[in-house]
Amino acid sequence: MENFILEMDKGELHVHLNGLVSSELVIKLLNNNIIDIPQGFDLEKDLNIIKPAKSLSSYLKPWDLLRFVPKSRSDLTLIVFDAFENLRKSNVRFVELRNSILYIALLNEVNVDVAMAWLLEDVSRASEFYDIKAGLILTVTRGDYSLEQLRSLLNAYIKLGKPDLIVGLDLAGNEDINVSSALAYEFVRAKTEFGLKITIHAGETGNFENIVIAVNDFKADRIGHGTAAIKSQPTLELLKEKDICVEVCPISNRLTNAVGESESHPVIEFINNEVPFVICSDNPSIHRSSITQDYIEFYRETKSSLHIKKMLEIQKKYSFIKGLSCK
Ligand SMILES: [Zn+2]
């Protein structure tokens, strides 16, 4: 099965650009730019999470450094091409990359629309070079400034003429922070007005109510992780009835401790309850891993070769990139 998985064509619907770029490249770029490495940070070790983290905040430690790259236009190009090179190694045929873009603008002292145009150009070139179809998802972080972030991203999107390459919106970050109804309203407005699809990181840290909010208030088309759905039968049924696809990231879920060591993975309950799902990798390079390893981990947990064999078709069905299903 491992060889079959390695060689099969794959789609990737949940991966963060910062978590896909190789740590070796990040170290090289950090060294070139002579930034002050935060105290107590070991470059060789702390950019990777290979054992279950004690908490989500300790899982997020690599981002203390990742937020210092790219420090130039050309560094961004290197990052994007390296990310696509990693996808190619796993035979990924289409990818939806996520990024919040605002830190790129801040780091390089350019407007958000400039940073967005850089990223779009690089993703478009790398997509063509590697023959991997691509879409970009704009990530908003949960917190006091979510609404400002979303508005600033949407303004840049409009200024650039609503590029087709941008396919969706994502909400990520600390799930304990309550989201405002104004934020949900803006997500839905973007969906209605611009046809952007919506995916929400929800139910990763144990709170199934965030999944219900994502579906009902944010009109989410897909849910990131959604592991807590198994705590609530009505939530599982809601996902099934509304045909909301869960982005299952087996390795990430173990390393963030969303799924504890002694627990079986919730994807087994998704299968039992006919909740649609896709296998994704989240932050493969942080895990010193790849989406191939996530498929292998999924197979180890479920022993379902049927889902592996059907996965590409399922990914095409739920992808935000248009036209994948048409032969
Ligand atoms: Zn994620």
Q: Is the Cα torsion angle 276, 282, 287, 289 positive or negative in sign?
A: positive
Q: What is the pLDDT of residues 247-268, one digit of tens each?
A: 999 999 999 999 998 999 999 9
Instruction: Tell me phi and psi for residue 278, to 5 degrees.
Output: -125, 150
Ligand 1 center to residue 100 CA distance, Å? 12
Beta bridge partner(s), residue 257: none
Identify the DSSP state of 279: E
- 98 C-alpha to ligand 1 centroid (Å): 8
Alpha-carbon distance 240 to 94, whole Å? 25
Residue 35 has φ and ψ, to the nearest 5°, of -85, 160
Average pLDDT over residues 86-91: 98
Tokens found for residue 12: 């990737």
> Ligand 1 mean position to 282 CA, how many Å?
5
Q: Where are the domains of the chain?
A: 2-318
Q: How far is the CA of 16 from the centre of ligand 1 (A)?
A: 6
Residue 161 alpha carbon to ligand 1 centre in Å: 27
* Length of the chain (residues): 327
Residue 258 to residue 319: CA distance in whole angstroms: 24
pLDDT digits (tens, 9 = 90+) for 120-142: 999 999 999 999 999 999 999 99
pLDDT in tens, 269-309: 999 999 999 999 999 999 999 999 999 999 999 999 999 99
Q: What is the DSSP letter of 160?
A: T
H helix runs in 60-208, sequence order: 63-66, 73-89, 102-108, 112-130, 146-159, 181-194
Residues 176, 148 contacting (CB under 8 angstroms): no
CATH homologous superfamily of 2-318 equals: Metal-dependent hydrolases (3.20.20.140)
Structure tokens that stand for 218 in this block: 């944010």
Angle between helices 209-216 and 233-241 (to 10 degrees): 30
